[in-house]
Amino acid sequence: MTKATKKIISSLKDYFLLAMPGLNDPNFSQSVVYICEHNADGAMGLIINQPLDIPVKAIFDQLDLKYLDECGNSLIFDGGPVQRDRGFILHPTAQQQWESTVSIGEGISLTASKDILKDIALGNGPERALITLGYSSWGAGQLEQEIAQNSWLTIPADSAIIFQTDCADRAGAAASTIGLDLAMLSPDAGHA
């Protein structure tokens, strides 16, 4: 008989955090967060399923960018409670690079510079993009503590969930990748 080995994850970069039903923080209730960075100093991520009632053209107007009407209708997302005046764009990795493009995971990149917005406004940017205001952040050890308290479920990220799944279906789609039905989760946490 072989002893099962436990996979140890040293970084949750390129993972989803799925808020458990018992997480009562209004910033994160029912959210799916894509983790962009996670190391000994803490973690940074973007909520990918909380659209704001603000069309992208509002940012284009604020930045005095010329844009095609059809490029300004998608909604901006609430990326998290930190620096809500700062924008971040998650997009599929492309040959084209912008000033601050960083590859995060398999087929997923993050850009936070104005040049990508200029391209998106004119239909020359990435085919799909999720534009957020603000981000989510955890100090050293904070995220690990919240996971130990059953506040979050960690799930390997899938770019199709970010870019090809309707916003309202992203939490369920992420859960289903590990065989979980969200309707079966209890808000009461337990430890074995």
Query: 142 by DSSP, 3-state: which?
Result: helix
Q: What is the pLDDT along the chain (192 residues), one digit of tens a residue?
A: 445 555 556 899 999 999 998 888 999 999 999 999 999 999 999 999 999 999 999 999 999 999 999 999 999 999 999 999 899 999 999 888 899 999 998 899 999 999 999 999 999 999 899 999 999 999 999 999 999 999 999 999 999 999 999 999 999 999 999 998 887 875 555 544
Residue type, 39: N
pLDDT score of 169: 95
Let me know if residue 191 belongs to a domain. Answer: no
pLDDT score of 191: 46
Q: What is the DSSP string of 116-178?
A: HHHHHHTT-S-SS-EEEEEEEEEETTHHHHHHHTTSEEEEE--HHHHHSS-GGGHHHHHHHTT
pLDDT score of 4: 52
pLDDT score of 23: 87
Residue 91 belongs to domain with CATH number: 3.40.1740.10
- State the DSSP code for 93: -
Let me know if residue 150 belongs to a domain. Answer: yes
Let me know if residue 3 belongs to a domain. Answer: no
Per the structure, the count of domains in the chain is 1
pTM over 0.85: yes
pLDDT score of 192: 45
Let me know if residue 175 belongs to a domain. Answer: yes
Let me know if residue 167 belongs to a domain. Answer: yes
Let me know if residue 6 belongs to a domain. Answer: no
Let me know if residue 99 belongs to a domain. Answer: yes
The residue segments making up the domain with residue 66 are 15-184
Query: 191 by DSSP, 3-state: which?
Result: coil
